[in-house]
Structure 1
Amino acid sequence: MTPEKTRKTVPPSGSQDLVPAPDLPYRPQDPQSYHPGIGLIGCGGITKDHLTAYKAAGYRVVAFCDVNLENAERRRAEFYPDAAVFQNAADLLARDDVEVVDIATHPAVRPPLIEAALLAGKHVLSQKPFVLDLDVGERLVALSESCDRKLAVNQNGRWAPHFSYAREAVRRGLLGDVNGVHMSIEWDHRWTEGTPFAEIKHLILYDYAIHWFDMIHCLLRNQTPLRVFASTTRTKTQTMMPPLGAQVAFEFEHAQASLSFDAATIYGRQDRTYIAGDQGSVYSIGPNEKEQQLTLYTADGVSQPDLVGSWFPDGFHGSMGELLCAIEENRRPSHSAADNLFSLSLCFAAIHSTETHQTVVPGAIRRLPIDKK
């Protein structure tokens, strides 16, 4: 959302004055001198956003691969006409000019591709969800370490401008100790009816909410999650199979968190986030996840940063940029696969809770079968 489109609306805050917003590094970062060749495996619909971000950032995509060769050829023609195209991933991985691989296939076929890429000496950015089995994820993390390769997960929501700014505010201690995180999303997800997405039993909590589970983990990463309770509900008029209502409650050592999803909202759509700390709070609201007005409350006053950009495509820029920076600086990326396993443990626990109607300890549920029924 550009500054000129931003309407300043400050929720009730007592008598605090409006003050300049802290300058926080919420925008995607790029490496200083590392410009590797990137290979994309899996060229489905979402990769248009990947490539839009990569092209704008000046990243070099040198090869495309898809089992449906037409998909790879289409993406090449749209974005990088000089790139090579392949139908077999092994051919792409054999190229010396490919140093980093973006694996954007379906989850079930991703682990063998990640393993092959690591063994071929490539750094890997995996599309989310990283794995459907935490033990498999831990094995791939161990493999990446033994191969001395970076393995990151494309949790692109971390670089949505409003969430990235809030995350930086928490990381820098502007809110003090976070004791509450509450997010609610009201939108219409019925566009998925008649698509393969509608065959996923827990479409909302598994495919969509994976970003919000990751946000909860990011904001409360210094606290231990103790229990998760979740439930889903079908609206009275819905005709598609997956429940369109879902809610999750999290109990942490010294905090609480909640997620609420209403995916059959036609009018008055909203996306809201409230982060409460003992030294400050953040409130962000908008009609969707791409258009947000964020307000920061601290002892210094109330501030509303003019956030530049949008989740799509900036989130994809941020995710790949962080991996490239981590490679250049020889450090673990902030969205590493090892870190993402904690986010997945929250997701797995929530989905298991909806099935059993019981509270679940995160990490206790190791494998997530995604039923199609």
Structure 2
Amino acid sequence: MTAEKIRKTVPPPGALELVPAPELPYRPQDPQNYAPGIGLIGCGGITKEHLTAYKAAGYRVVALCDINRENAERRRDEFYPNADVYHDAADLLKRDDIEVVDITTHPAVRPPLIKAALLAGKHVLSQKPFVLDLDEGERLVALAQDCGRELAVNQNGRWAPHFSYARQAVRQGLLGDINGVHMSVHWDHRWTEGTPFAKIKHLILYDYAIHWFDMIQCLLRDQTPLRVFASTTRTKTQTMMPPLGAQVAIEFDHTQASLSFDAATMFGRQDRTYIAGDQGSLYSLGPNEKEQTVTLYNADGVSQPELTGSWFPDGFHGSMGELLRAIEEKRRPIHSAADNLASLSLCFAAIHSAETHQVVIPGEIRRLPIDD
């Protein structure tokens, strides 16, 4: 861009006026004529959000499975009273009327289930984080391709209204070339103390921040991340094992990205996203990830779209809806497992950097140690 063009597109201070917000397709979308039987494997706590979204969207969940049969029965009774219940996933996968399976188990036991589902001819939506090993993830991606099935990852944050609007704004070029993406989250994650989550050493950078790593990868998908540096901090008063403070800096050729997490914030909680481009910027702010006000700045003025919905359950609706639409339209879903491996490579690099205090090149760290 020439200096003259820059001068013409940058308004003088105080010149921006409030203008109508661009209408962007940020809401979850459903397939037109595809209503497959869906099976749910794993009926833990988060599946309440899955099934709330699926029922509201009119999706046909015909079977539920959990090694603890009572979990599956409880979900069935609450959401799909006519669905069948199994405690062995193999029995669910034998059914010809099930074309899509949603696998929500913990990462360590998920890959064999994904493999079995693909070999049984099912399309798969995997809960996040996808895998603990990038090489294993690549093998599953290759298997899905060999089987002619779609394999997607439930990165539901992409369909949180504020993230989805931002994603569409960047995709449609409203911000021009992106110079910086900066996200900070200040909340209280100590509710996990005493739960299995508290046994994850890098609870914040792995289990939680994967949504934010994925958004960076999604927003900057045309750029290659060069280096990652991260650190974690234990607060002075915390009693649980995982560090509750974390920060990450990611360097691209022409863009910088940063993440900051304060997971022991009792008062003044805040969730903030800022995306700076050479033709505009987008700012999202709220007390949490579900309540956000988006502001778009560009040469036309300042606009604030009136967004509807919330991350929960819209994110889960969007994730399954995109997979179903991709199957119907015979294309790869935007949240494909292949795409998600790039997000995981950022996550793994950040965790290794936090452990070693070294700058790490994304993709070099292939596996996340389970027992770190």
- For normalisation by structure 1, the TM-score amounts to 0.96
Q: For residues 199 and 99 of structure 2, what CA distance do their matches in structure 1 show? A: 36
Q: For residues 237 and 368 of structure 2, what CA distance do their matches in structure 1 show? A: 29
Structure 2 residue aligned with 1:111: 111
Structure 2 residue aligned with 1:5: none
State the AA in 1 paired with 2:40. Answer: L
Question: Contact 1:246/1:262 (CA < 8 Å) preserved in 2?
Answer: yes
State the AA in 1 paired with 2:56. Answer: A
Q: What's the % identity of the aligned pairs?
A: 84
Q: Which runs of 5+ in 2 are unaligned?
A: 1-12
* Runs of 4+, deviation exceeding 3 Å: none
Structure 1 residue aligned with 2:292: 292
Q: For residues 371 and 267 of structure 2, what CA distance do their matches in structure 1 show? A: 31
Query: Does structure 1 residue 282 correspond to structure 2 residue 282?
Result: yes
Shift in Å at residue 296 of structure 1?
A: 0.5
Structure 2 residue aligned with 1:262: 262
Deviations along 1:235-262, one digit per CA (max 9) or x if unpaired, are 0111111100000000001100000000
Shift in Å at residue 15 of structure 1?
A: 2.8
Q: How does 1:97-246 map to 2 (within 5 A)?
A: 97-246=97-246
SS at match of 2:98: coil
State the AA in 2 paired with 1:138. Answer: E
SS at match of 1:367: coil
Deviations along 1:43-90, one digit per CA (max 9) or x if unpaired, are 000000000000000000000000000000000000000000000000
Deviations along 1:263-320, one digit per CA (max 9) or x if unpaired, are 0000000000000000000000000000000000111110000000000000000000
Deviations along 1:195-254, one digit per CA (max 9) or x if unpaired, are 111111000001100000000001111111000000000001111111000000000011
Shift in Å at residue 120 of structure 1?
A: 0.2
Q: For residues 117 and 207 of structure 1, what CA distance do their matches in structure 2 show? A: 24
Q: For residues 152 and 369 of structure 1, what CA distance do their matches in structure 2 show? A: 23
Q: For residues 289 and 343 of structure 1, what CA distance do their matches in structure 2 show? A: 19
Q: For residues 324 and 253 of structure 2, what CA distance do their matches in structure 1 show? A: 34
Shift in Å at residue 369 of structure 1?
A: 1.2
Shift in Å at residue 371 of structure 1?
A: 2.2
Question: Contact 1:202/1:370 (CA < 8 Å) preserved in 2?
Answer: no
Question: Contact 1:273/1:283 (CA < 8 Å) preserved in 2?
Answer: yes
Shift in Å at residue 171 of structure 1?
A: 0.3
State the AA in 2 paired with 1:302. Answer: V
Q: Which runs of 5+ in 1 are unaligned?
A: 1-12
Q: For residues 108 and 62 of structure 1, what CA distance do their matches in structure 2 show? A: 26
SS at match of 1:99: strand
SS at match of 1:292: strand
SS at match of 2:226: strand
- Root-mean-square deviation (CA), in Å? 0.7
Shift in Å at residue 14 of structure 1?
A: 3.3
Question: Contact 1:159/1:319 (CA < 8 Å) preserved in 2?
Answer: yes
Q: For residues 370 and 191 of structure 1, what CA distance do their matches in structure 2 show? A: 22
Q: For residues 233 and 285 of structure 2, what CA distance do their matches in structure 1 show? A: 24
Structure 1 residue aligned with 2:62: 62
